[in-house]
Amino acid sequence: MTTPRTALLQSSGRLGDVGHNLRLIDEAAERAAAAGARLLTVPELFLTGYAIGDRIAELAEPADGPSAAAIARTATRHGVAVCYGYPERAGDHVHNSAQLIGAAGERLLNYRKTHLFGEFEQHWFTPGDTPVVQVELPELAGLRVGAMICYDVEFPENVRAHALAGTDLLLVPTAQMHPFQFVAESLVPVRAFENQLYVAYVNRTGPEGEFEFIGRSCLAGPDGIARARAGHHPELVVADLDPAFLTASRQANPYLADRRPALYTTIG
């Protein structure tokens, strides 16, 4: 069996230019496919840029909108599933969302960020209310893939919910900014270890409006070690996933089996 391989695009794209950013996704998918990857993940709000302020309402699209159709064409053209961040229009609400489109062009999951960070996000977005969204991905040997966005991964309950639901690979499109580099470098690998899963943490990079994104995207394994790590500049990172190692690691580190939920009832 071919080793499942995934790609992480660390980039901020071009602020407010959806067409340009769709082309970047297509180019990255072509490069990912050439490197043997079957899944590409790009950062939070990649379609539009993060610091778009009052243009969010103008640029937001429904989950089945024109950009989803464009990414479906990219996915089928290159044989690569694509997970991307975008502002989702849903009736009168706009969500900070991540959608996964399979290599056959089908929409597989759509996740709405549940924990909004800071005044900017809390002003412009409506939080989601579904913490675990996941799907088995044939492109990755049937691994169960889940999604959350940036700040969500900093809440241990969120990631533990995925672990209990059987997520093998957690995709985290991100817009992590200065001075929180320790999240990418330390917290994310710990999340992977304590929950015995892979975490693909895919960040923006460079200045954008009032923000300075720090990069440092990574694929962290269930042993708490980053299989691949980007620097501070735009970069396509490719790394392997090992289902057999994941199974062995879970047997050696039985955190989920050794839990005592009756002791945790006082935790709100």
Catalytic amino acids?
A: 44, 113, 150
Quote the tokens at residue 19. Answer: 């067409």
* 6 contact partners, CB below 8 Å, separation of at least 6: 37, 38, 39, 40, 41, 140, 169, 200, 219, 238, 239, 240, 241
CB burial class (10 A; 0-12, 13-18, 19+) of residue 11?
buried
* Residue owning tokens 């975490």: 199
Spatial separation of the C-alpha atoms in residues 236 and 30, rounded to whole Å:
11
Quote the tokens at residue 128. Answer: 């989601």
User: From the CB of residue 263, how many other CB atoms can be counted at a distance below 10 Å?
Assistant: 8
Element (H, E) at 193: helix 188-195
Q: What pairs with residue 233 in β-bridges?
A: none
Quote the tokens at residue 27. Answer: 């180019």
